[in-house]
Structure 1
Amino acid sequence: MQTAQRIINAYRRKRIIVCLTIALVTLVLTLGVRFISQRNLNQQSVQNFASQSVNALDKLLLPLKAAQAPMQTLVGQPCSQAHLALRKQAAALQTVRSIALVEKGILYCSSIFGSRNIPLRTLQPDLPSPESKLLLSTDSSLLKGTPVLILWHPVSEDGESGVVQIVNIALIAKIMLEPQPPLITDVSLNVGERYLRYSRGVTDSLQVEENGNRLEHPSAHFPFSLTVASPSASEVALLSLPGQLPLALMLSLLLGYLAWLVTASRMSFTWEINLGLAAREFELFCQPLLNARTQQCMGVEILLRWNNPRQGWISPDVFIPLAEEHHLIVPLTRYVLAETVRQIDYFPATPDFHIGINVAASHFRHGMLLQDLNRYWFSARPVQQLIVELTERDALRDVDYRLVRELRRKGAKMAIDDFGTGNSSLSWLEKLRPDVLKIDKSFTTAIGTDAVNSTVTDIIIALGQRLHIELVAEGVETEQQARYLRQHGVTLLQGYLYARPMPLRDFPKWLTERGSPPSAHQHRQIMPLMPLR
């Protein structure tokens, strides 16, 4: 069977494991949530950057697109007439470096240089074109080598005549294409098959590091896109986790401590006892008491056993003291009362048969015992004699002798168990005037072997006889002990010499094999009370 310290240590280990598990899970979940949140935030930040940059460039180009119509009407007019209008339009658009008019493939008028006569194809091999185009190139006339965006708008069916708008993209690129470590390591403006990167100029190829992600965001209005290179969002989020560790540790310790407080009642022996009562895991046993001279069974002492499906058999020496310590002995006694009445048919229906019920002194407080006996025992009106037994391990000062007197008036008797080993005094014998004194088995075992305890046993026997109190000897295991007790006037004996504790359902068979119970005309002997042992 389990020992008290072993069970308590087992529950303490379970509580520690549960609390540590909760703390660890909280730590992992907190860091995991922060990791996922930061990863998603990183991904969203990269997407927002690309979207905002494309939108910003769209806002710069849309006014140029809106200004196409008035510029197209100038194509074919002499430069002397159109030049002022070109200059005004370039000044109004602000972002435009220059506007040029092209007729039959010849750039003949510029907002900056005025009249010119240069084949457009020599400046831009892809122009003129019958379709509107957006080109990424470098300036070849004013600020040579600087990146520019060229917007071509044809006005003739063959595409040889049209308007050229040149946008200074250098300053915009420094603002829009600047990387933002650690999230964004590279940004590229893609127009056709040419690319503009921060501080690297216009190139014909785009190389991005293999380790990392690429996000390409196209414009909804113009034929360009933005490519954003970034390390893995998970990698960046992982690097930020050490900064989240203090908060995660504080939260895990807090929840672990709360779990320790919550499990104080739900993962303790008190919770186990309550669970056992609710699940009816406790079973009633009984041990017969025999008349020392006639060898007839005069009654039984009810014993409580616990086959815990989670812990195995738990000794009464373990759960009874723990139940008393945690104020659960009263619910256990109520369980014993209810179960004894429910299974009362296992016992002979005669008033000369005694049934002992063990009761703690604390059960007497505020009249609780009388209320419980009225509810479970007296209301059922059993024929058998009830003996209420007090153990000396309890403080007998809690017992109200007026309540004892009321119990006697209702037909119950009073016994003191394990007499001589507890904390009662002779004054309580005078106040309580018990009907029975039960000699503890430690004194019974000492008969014939221990001179000191044998002398104490003789004193207890003499005291009981002098006060006219019935004596019951517990723990009788040898014929020598039984003979000694009979010779000294102890007539009720209990112990392994006669019977071991047995389940209530086995008692009728034992009684049949042993002999008939006492008849009503026989001398009425006192039968001890049931310890919850």
Structure 2
Amino acid sequence: MQTAQWIIKRYRRRRAIVSVSVAIVALIFTLTFRFISERNLNHHRITAFTQHAVNALDQLLLPLAAGRNTLIPLVGQPCAGVHLQLLKQAASLQTVRAVALIKDGILYCSSIFGSLDVPIKQVQSLLPTREPLLMLSTDQTLLKGRPVLIMWYPSSKDGQDGVIEAVNIDLLSDLVLEPQVPLITQAVLSVSGKHLVHGKGIMTTLPPPVNESAYRRASTHFPFSVSVSGPGAAKLALLHLPSQLPLALMISLLTSFITWFATASRMSFSREINQGIVGREFELFCQPLLEARTLKCDGVEILLRWHNPRQGWISPEVFISIAEEHNQIAPLTRYVLTEIQQQLHFFPDDAHFHIGINAAPSHLRNGELLRDLNQLWFNHHPMQQLIIELTERDVLFEMDSRMVQDLRHRGVKIAIDDFGTGNSSLAWLEQLRPDVLKIDKSFTKTIGTDAINSTITDMIIALGQRLKIELVAEGVETPLQARHLRLRGVNTLQGFLYAEPMPIKAFPAWLAEHRETPPTRQNGDALPFTRG
């Protein structure tokens, strides 16, 4: 059988599962987010590196391209007359190693060596050409074997005349092509089928990268491109991921704690009770109360039964105790009052027939119960006598006792339910001066035994009679108990000997049968989780 502790433990377990699940999701999400962020950052660094290299080379070559309009008119003029001008042009462009003029395929004037008479093909085998040309080559004059970037601009239709500008690309490569390990392990400048690899010189072919990724960006101004290779943005991000684990664990733990506290109200049995009230899942049962001597039914006690569509039958001992812990007794009492008004026609329309409703003393505070009764009971002007049964489990305050007097003035009887099981029974009698005492079934079942509680039962009966309070015995299950209680002057009997709790709509049939035949203990299986 389910208990309140078992229900609460299960809901806490569900909350724990949800919190751990959220923590795992948060951990995975955080690591994924950090991985994606790191990968994107690495990719941005790679693209920024290549873009910077391309821009730097563009900024170098654009002034050279602009200066050709100054140099081309000098082709064919005597070297002695233009040499100084070549020197000034080379000096103005700091990265230019040399500027030379070619006439009829002969290099005849150089900014470095002055007048020359060298076939250009001996210096650069691909020259002269009819089209402008940008190419990587090696220096054959000043710093032999060092890489240079050659810009060729023809000045004649046959391509035999023109201007050469040689750029000290070896020095520039140290500035713009130096790799950024571990992200970039190799940077390459590719021009006209040749490749300048940083630290390795000019190569005609490049070996394919092994277990590395390559990225290439071409210039929009000149026929060259810059390529970089390395482990790849994703691979480096993955290698860097373990360093993000402490942060991810902190976030996941924080998320788990937040989830645990956020689900306190949403994933709790108290929320389940609220859903049951809103969804009208609770059903009203009633248990008849019989006059002890005539065995005439003179009233009923209203009981709640709950067949939760999500969890099945739930015992009142479970949901009532949890409702008390979470201050939900008042909403349940309002629910009972509302449902009774819709089913009041099942009961005799008789002022001597009483209907007992359980309420908590806390519901009396600040006049809350009186306001609820005004709205849900008195406004409908029912004929039946209303009895409010208060339990001793709550603490009784002075203001509550004054509210009890207000209820009594409105014609409501006050009963103490489960009398003798609380911590302050005598104090309740003094403050409330109730109309009815309901002897708890734990005392009734001891009748006829040698138990101390059997003596206490007789003392409770004597006390009630001395104070002229009506007495109701709960849990009467045997003729011996009924006889004992009747002989000692108990007014009303309630228990399985006469009737088990039944749905309200079944009460008229029971009442009709009871009037025609002597009452006996009903046979058959008890309803699930009954509570007398």
For normalisation by structure 1, the TM-score amounts to 0.93
Q: Does 1:490 align with 2:483?
A: no
Higher relative contact order (CA 8 A, sep 6+): 1
**Paired residue for 2:141?**
141
Q: Tell me how far 1:387 sits from its aligned partner.
A: 0.9
Q: Tell me how far 1:86 sits from its aligned partner.
A: 1.6
State whether residues 464 and 470 of structure 1, in contact with CA within 8 Å, keep that contact through their aligned partners in structure 2: yes
**Aligned pairs (5 A) from 1:351-362:** 351-362=351-362
**Paired residue for 1:456?**
456
Q: What SS is found at the alignment partner of 1:334?
A: helix
Inter-CA distance 357–141: structure 2 relative to 1 (3 Å threshold): same
Question: Take 2:428 and 2:63, find their aligned partners in 1: how far apart are those partners?
Answer: 109
Inter-CA distance 37–241: structure 2 relative to 1 (3 Å threshold): same
Alignment RMSD (CA, Å): 2.0
State whether residues 361 and 399 of structure 1, in contact with CA within 8 Å, keep that contact through their aligned partners in structure 2: no
Q: Does 1:251 align with 2:251?
A: yes
Residues 156-178 of structure 1: CA distance to partner in whole angstroms, max 9, x if unpaired?
11111111111111100111111
Inter-CA distance 469–230: structure 2 relative to 1 (3 Å threshold): same
Residues 406-443 of structure 1: CA distance to partner in whole angstroms, max 9, x if unpaired?
22222111211222222234354344332211121112
Question: Take 1:215 and 1:429, find their aligned partners in 2: how far apart are those partners?
Answer: 91
Unpaired runs of 5+ residues, structure 2, are 518-529
Question: Take 1:398 and 1:322, find their aligned partners in 2: how far apart are those partners?
Answer: 26
**Aligned pairs (5 A) from 1:316-327:** 316-327=316-327
Q: Tell me how far 1:149 sits from its aligned partner.
A: 0.8
Residues 263-315 of structure 1: CA distance to partner in whole angstroms, max 9, x if unpaired?
22222222222222222222111111122333322111100112222332221
**Aligned pairs (5 A) from 1:152-171:** 152-171=152-171
Residues 83-108 of structure 1: CA distance to partner in whole angstroms, max 9, x if unpaired?
22222221222221111111111111
Q: Tell me how far 1:532 sits from its aligned partner.
A: 8.7
**Paired residue for 1:83?**
83
Question: Take 1:455 and 1:493, find their aligned partners in 2: how far apart are those partners?
Answer: 19
Aligned partner letter, 1:182 = P
**Paired residue for 1:68?**
68
**Paired residue for 1:469?**
469
**Paired residue for 1:525?**
none
Inter-CA distance 370–107: structure 2 relative to 1 (3 Å threshold): same
**Paired residue for 2:128?**
128
Question: Take 1:218 and 1:397, find their aligned partners in 2: how far apart are those partners?
Answer: 87
Q: Does 1:25 align with 2:19?
A: no
Q: Tell me how far 1:373 sits from its aligned partner.
A: 1.4
Aligned partner letter, 1:52 = H
Q: What SS is found at the alignment partner of 1:174?
A: helix
Q: Tell me how far 1:131 sits from its aligned partner.
A: 0.7
Q: What SS is found at the alignment partner of 1:343?
A: helix
Aligned partner letter, 1:513 = E
Aligned partner letter, 1:372 = D
Q: Tell me how far 1:516 sits from its aligned partner.
A: 7.3
Inter-CA distance 73–355: structure 2 relative to 1 (3 Å threshold): same
Inter-CA distance 428–218: structure 2 relative to 1 (3 Å threshold): closer
Question: Take 1:31 and 1:132, find their aligned partners in 2: how far apart are those partners?
Answer: 53
Q: Does 1:223 align with 2:223?
A: yes
**Paired residue for 1:92?**
92
State whether residues 401 and 432 of structure 2, in contact with CA within 8 Å, keep that contact through their aligned partners in structure 1: yes
Unpaired runs of 5+ residues, structure 1, are 518-530
Q: How many pairs does the alignment contain? A: 520
**Aligned pairs (5 A) from 1:190-201:** 190-201=190-201
Aligned partner letter, 1:283 = E
Question: Take 2:455 and 2:374, find their aligned partners in 1: how far apart are those partners?
Answer: 41
Q: Tell me how far 1:326 sits from its aligned partner.
A: 2.0
State whether residues 501 and 531 of structure 2, in contact with CA within 8 Å, keep that contact through their aligned partners in structure 1: no
Q: What SS is found at the alignment partner of 1:305?
A: strand
State whether residues 387 and 413 of structure 1, in contact with CA within 8 Å, keep that contact through their aligned partners in structure 2: yes
State whether residues 87 and 112 of structure 1, in contact with CA within 8 Å, keep that contact through their aligned partners in structure 2: yes
Question: Take 1:99 and 1:431, find their aligned partners in 2: how far apart are those partners?
Answer: 117
For normalisation by structure 2, the TM-score amounts to 0.93
Between 1:5-14 and 1:408-417, the stretch displaced more is 408-417
Q: Tell me how far 1:399 sits from its aligned partner.
A: 6.1
Inter-CA distance 401–91: structure 2 relative to 1 (3 Å threshold): closer
Question: Take 2:24 and 2:486, find their aligned partners in 1: how far apart are those partners?
Answer: 67
State whether residues 419 and 425 of structure 2, in contact with CA within 8 Å, keep that contact through their aligned partners in structure 1: no
Residues 140-188 of structure 1: CA distance to partner in whole angstroms, max 9, x if unpaired?
1110000001111111111111111111111001111111011111011
Question: Take 1:442 and 1:399, find their aligned partners in 2: how far apart are those partners?
Answer: 30
Question: Take 2:227 and 2:154, find their aligned partners in 1: how far apart are those partners?
Answer: 29
